[in-house]
Chain A
Amino acid sequence: DTGVSQNPRHKITKRGQNVTFRCDPISEHNRLYWYRQTLGQGPEFLTYFQNEAQLEKSRLLSDRFSAERPKGSFSTLEIQRTEQGDSAMYLCASSADGYQPQHFGDGTRLSIL
Protein backbone atom coordinates (compact mmCIF):
# COMPACT_ATOMS: atom_id res chain seq x y z
CA ASP A 1 0.00 0.00 0.00
CA THR A 2 1.55 3.32 -1.05
CA GLY A 3 -0.42 5.65 1.19
CA VAL A 4 0.85 8.88 2.73
CA SER A 5 3.76 8.22 5.07
CA GLN A 6 4.89 10.51 7.89
CA ASN A 7 7.99 10.34 10.06
CA PRO A 8 8.58 10.33 12.90
CA ARG A 9 5.28 9.22 14.43
CA HIS A 10 6.13 10.84 17.72
CA LYS A 11 8.54 13.61 18.66
CA ILE A 12 9.28 14.80 22.17
CA THR A 13 11.49 17.84 22.51
CA LYS A 14 12.35 20.63 24.90
CA ARG A 15 10.98 24.11 24.47
CA GLY A 16 13.25 26.20 22.26
CA GLN A 17 14.56 23.32 20.18
CA ASN A 18 14.06 22.96 16.43
CA VAL A 19 12.17 19.99 14.99
CA THR A 20 11.66 18.70 11.45
CA PHE A 21 8.97 16.35 10.18
CA ARG A 22 8.88 14.49 6.89
CA CYS A 23 5.96 13.54 4.65
CA ASP A 24 6.04 11.18 1.68
CA PRO A 25 2.84 11.62 -0.33
CA ILE A 26 1.11 9.12 -2.62
CA SER A 27 3.52 8.97 -5.54
CA GLU A 28 1.25 10.23 -8.33
CA HIS A 29 -0.22 13.09 -6.29
CA ASN A 30 0.77 16.64 -7.25
CA ARG A 31 -0.69 18.41 -4.25
CA LEU A 32 0.60 18.12 -0.72
CA TYR A 33 -0.95 19.72 2.35
CA TRP A 34 0.06 20.23 5.97
CA TYR A 35 -2.44 20.48 8.82
CA ARG A 36 -2.28 20.80 12.58
CA GLN A 37 -4.76 19.07 14.87
CA THR A 38 -5.21 19.53 18.60
CA LEU A 39 -7.32 17.41 20.93
CA GLY A 40 -11.04 17.70 20.27
CA GLN A 41 -10.58 19.80 17.14
CA GLY A 42 -10.62 19.09 13.46
CA PRO A 43 -7.44 19.49 11.41
CA GLU A 44 -6.49 23.13 10.67
CA PHE A 45 -4.90 24.03 7.35
CA LEU A 46 -1.30 25.26 7.46
CA THR A 47 0.03 25.27 3.91
CA TYR A 48 -0.02 23.43 0.59
CA PHE A 49 2.20 22.71 -2.40
CA GLN A 50 1.46 22.15 -6.04
CA ASN A 51 4.48 20.10 -7.08
CA GLU A 52 7.44 22.05 -5.61
CA ALA A 53 5.66 25.41 -5.41
CA GLN A 54 4.24 26.51 -2.06
CA LEU A 55 1.02 28.21 -3.14
CA GLU A 56 -0.73 29.15 0.07
CA LYS A 57 0.07 29.62 3.74
CA SER A 58 -2.38 30.01 6.61
CA ARG A 59 -2.18 32.83 9.15
CA LEU A 60 -1.51 29.98 11.61
CA LEU A 61 1.89 29.45 9.98
CA SER A 62 4.11 31.82 11.97
CA ASP A 63 7.63 32.82 10.96
CA ARG A 64 8.97 29.95 13.07
CA PHE A 65 7.40 27.46 10.67
CA SER A 66 8.83 26.64 7.28
CA ALA A 67 7.87 23.98 4.78
CA GLU A 68 9.62 22.75 1.68
CA ARG A 69 8.93 20.27 -1.07
CA PRO A 70 12.12 19.92 -3.10
CA LYS A 71 11.66 18.34 -6.52
CA GLY A 72 7.94 18.02 -5.87
CA SER A 73 8.25 14.73 -4.03
CA PHE A 74 8.52 14.48 -0.23
CA SER A 75 7.98 17.47 2.00
CA THR A 76 9.45 18.67 5.29
CA LEU A 77 7.92 20.90 7.93
CA GLU A 78 10.34 22.59 10.30
CA ILE A 79 9.45 24.39 13.50
CA GLN A 80 12.14 26.60 14.98
CA ARG A 81 12.36 27.64 18.64
CA THR A 82 9.44 25.41 19.63
CA GLU A 83 6.90 26.70 22.14
CA GLN A 84 4.41 24.89 24.40
CA GLY A 85 1.58 25.89 22.09
CA ASP A 86 3.18 23.96 19.24
CA SER A 87 2.21 20.67 20.89
CA ALA A 88 -0.20 19.02 18.46
CA MET A 89 -0.58 16.35 15.82
CA TYR A 90 0.88 17.47 12.51
CA LEU A 91 -0.88 15.83 9.58
CA CYS A 92 0.16 15.62 5.97
CA ALA A 93 -2.24 14.92 3.11
CA SER A 94 -1.95 14.60 -0.64
CA SER A 95 -4.32 14.71 -3.59
CA ALA A 96 -4.15 14.23 -7.33
CA ASP A 97 -5.41 17.75 -7.94
CA GLY A 98 -7.34 20.50 -6.20
CA TYR A 99 -10.72 18.85 -6.70
CA GLN A 100 -9.88 15.33 -5.56
CA PRO A 101 -10.18 14.07 -1.97
CA GLN A 102 -7.17 14.58 0.24
CA HIS A 103 -5.67 11.41 1.68
CA PHE A 104 -4.00 11.73 5.03
CA GLY A 105 -1.04 10.14 6.74
CA ASP A 106 -1.19 9.09 10.39
CA GLY A 107 0.58 12.25 11.52
CA THR A 108 3.48 13.20 13.74
CA ARG A 109 2.55 13.88 17.35
CA LEU A 110 4.73 16.65 18.78
CA SER A 111 5.08 17.05 22.53
CA ILE A 112 6.96 20.03 23.97
CA LEU A 113 8.43 19.57 27.45
Chain B
Amino acid sequence: EDQVTQSPEALRLQEGESSSLNCSYTVSGLRGLFWYRQDPGKGPEFLFTLYSAGEEKEKERLKATLTKKESFLHITAPKPEDSATYLCAVFYEGSGAGSYQLTFGKGTKLSVIP
Protein backbone atom coordinates (compact mmCIF):
# COMPACT_ATOMS: atom_id res chain seq x y z
CA GLU B 1 0.00 0.00 0.00
CA ASP B 2 1.25 3.45 -0.87
CA GLN B 3 2.33 5.34 2.19
CA VAL B 4 3.80 8.65 3.32
CA THR B 5 5.29 8.87 6.81
CA GLN B 6 6.48 12.03 8.51
CA SER B 7 8.66 12.22 11.57
CA PRO B 8 8.75 13.40 14.22
CA GLU B 9 5.04 14.01 14.84
CA ALA B 10 5.91 17.06 16.93
CA LEU B 11 9.10 19.04 17.45
CA ARG B 12 9.89 21.79 19.92
CA LEU B 13 12.91 23.96 19.19
CA GLN B 14 14.47 26.91 20.86
CA GLU B 15 14.74 29.98 18.66
CA GLY B 16 17.92 29.59 16.62
CA GLU B 17 18.15 25.81 17.13
CA SER B 18 18.39 24.22 13.67
CA SER B 19 16.83 20.84 12.90
CA SER B 20 15.35 18.66 10.16
CA LEU B 21 11.97 17.13 9.47
CA ASN B 22 11.70 13.82 7.62
CA CYS B 23 9.23 12.55 5.04
CA SER B 24 9.63 8.95 3.85
CA TYR B 25 7.46 7.45 1.14
CA THR B 26 6.64 4.20 -0.62
CA VAL B 27 4.63 4.91 -3.76
CA SER B 28 4.84 3.68 -7.32
CA GLY B 29 4.89 6.06 -10.24
CA LEU B 30 6.27 8.97 -8.19
CA ARG B 31 6.32 12.20 -10.14
CA GLY B 32 7.38 14.57 -7.38
CA LEU B 33 7.06 15.69 -3.79
CA PHE B 34 5.55 18.87 -2.35
CA TRP B 35 6.13 20.54 1.00
CA TYR B 36 3.39 22.65 2.52
CA ARG B 37 3.07 24.73 5.67
CA GLN B 38 -0.27 24.80 7.50
CA ASP B 39 -1.24 27.25 10.22
CA PRO B 40 -4.16 26.47 12.56
CA GLY B 41 -7.53 27.03 10.89
CA LYS B 42 -5.93 27.67 7.49
CA GLY B 43 -5.39 25.69 4.34
CA PRO B 44 -1.94 24.35 3.42
CA GLU B 45 0.41 26.93 1.95
CA PHE B 46 2.70 25.73 -0.82
CA LEU B 47 6.44 25.86 -0.09
CA PHE B 48 8.44 23.65 -2.48
CA THR B 49 8.23 21.14 -5.30
CA LEU B 50 10.96 18.51 -5.73
CA TYR B 51 10.89 16.36 -8.85
CA SER B 52 14.02 14.22 -8.80
CA ALA B 53 16.49 12.66 -6.37
CA GLY B 54 19.32 15.04 -5.53
CA GLU B 55 17.23 18.13 -6.08
CA GLU B 56 17.33 20.90 -3.47
CA LYS B 57 15.17 24.01 -3.00
CA GLU B 58 15.65 26.89 -0.54
CA LYS B 59 13.42 29.64 0.78
CA GLU B 60 14.57 31.88 3.62
CA ARG B 61 15.37 29.58 6.56
CA LEU B 62 13.98 26.46 4.87
CA LYS B 63 15.78 24.00 2.62
CA ALA B 64 14.16 20.91 1.12
CA THR B 65 16.06 17.93 -0.27
CA LEU B 66 14.94 14.73 -1.98
CA THR B 67 16.35 11.19 -2.21
CA LYS B 68 14.79 8.11 -3.79
CA LYS B 69 13.04 7.15 -0.57
CA GLU B 70 12.68 10.29 1.53
CA SER B 71 12.77 14.05 1.74
CA PHE B 72 14.12 16.35 4.41
CA LEU B 73 13.04 19.84 5.34
CA HIS B 74 15.93 21.58 7.07
CA ILE B 75 15.14 24.60 9.21
CA THR B 76 18.11 26.84 9.94
CA ALA B 77 18.00 29.19 12.94
CA PRO B 78 14.21 29.03 13.24
CA LYS B 79 12.12 31.89 14.56
CA PRO B 80 8.80 31.73 16.47
CA GLU B 81 6.94 32.66 13.28
CA ASP B 82 8.13 29.37 11.75
CA SER B 83 5.82 27.54 14.17
CA ALA B 84 3.28 25.59 12.09
CA THR B 85 2.50 22.10 10.87
CA TYR B 86 4.65 21.07 7.93
CA LEU B 87 3.09 18.61 5.50
CA CYS B 88 4.73 16.65 2.75
CA ALA B 89 2.75 15.20 -0.12
CA VAL B 90 3.87 12.77 -2.79
CA PHE B 91 2.62 13.32 -6.28
CA TYR B 92 2.07 10.19 -8.35
CA GLU B 93 0.05 8.66 -11.14
CA GLY B 94 -3.54 7.93 -10.15
CA SER B 95 -5.80 5.11 -11.25
CA GLY B 96 -7.34 7.00 -14.15
CA ALA B 97 -5.50 7.62 -17.39
CA GLY B 98 -3.60 10.89 -17.17
CA SER B 99 -4.63 11.45 -13.57
CA TYR B 100 -2.29 12.49 -10.82
CA GLN B 101 -2.91 12.55 -7.11
CA LEU B 102 -1.39 13.85 -3.94
CA THR B 103 -1.07 11.68 -0.86
CA PHE B 104 -0.23 13.64 2.26
CA GLY B 105 1.61 12.62 5.37
CA LYS B 106 0.15 13.47 8.77
CA GLY B 107 2.53 16.37 9.23
CA THR B 108 5.09 17.51 11.78
CA LYS B 109 3.91 20.12 14.24
CA LEU B 110 6.79 22.51 14.83
CA SER B 111 6.89 24.83 17.81
CA VAL B 112 9.70 27.38 18.06
CA ILE B 113 10.11 28.81 21.53
CA PRO B 114 11.53 32.35 21.95
Number of interface residues of B (CB under 8 A): 27
In the complex, whether B34 has a CB less than 8 A from a CB of chain A is yes
Residue in B closest to A41 when the chains form the complex, CB atoms: B106
Residue in B closest to A44 when the chains form the complex, CB atoms: B104
B70-114 near A? 1/0 per residue, CB < 8 Å: 000000000000000001010000111011111111110000000
Question: How many Å from the CB of A68 to the closest CB on chain B?
Answer: 18
In the complex, whether B8 has a CB less than 8 A from a CB of chain A is no
Whether A56 lies near B106 (C-beta < 8 A) is no
Which of A55, A99, A106 is the one whose CB lies under 8 Å from B42?
A106
Q: Tell me the A62-113 residues at the B interface (CB within 8 Å).
A: 91, 93, 98-99, 101-107, 109
Whether A91 lies near B99 (C-beta < 8 A) is no
In the complex, whether A8 has a CB less than 8 A from a CB of chain B is no
Residues of B contacting A91 in the complex (Cβ-Cβ under 8 angstroms) = 43-44
Residues of A contacting B32 in the complex (Cβ-Cβ under 8 angstroms) = 99
Number of interface residues of A (CB under 8 A): 24
Residues of A contacting B101 in the complex (Cβ-Cβ under 8 angstroms) = 45, 48, 56
Whether B94 lies near A42 (C-beta < 8 A) is no
Can you offer 20 A-B residue contacts whose CB atoms are under 8 A?
A6-B43, A40-B106, A41-B106, A42-B4, A42-B104, A42-B105, A44-B104, A45-B103, A55-B99, A56-B94, A56-B95, A93-B43, A99-B32, A102-B46, A103-B46, A104-B44, A105-B43, A106-B42, A107-B42, A109-B41
Nearest 4 pairs of A and B residues by beta carbon:
A42-B104, A104-B43, A98-B100, A106-B43
Residues of B that sit less than 8 Å from A by CB: 4, 31-32, 34, 36, 41-46, 49, 87, 89, 94-96, 98-107
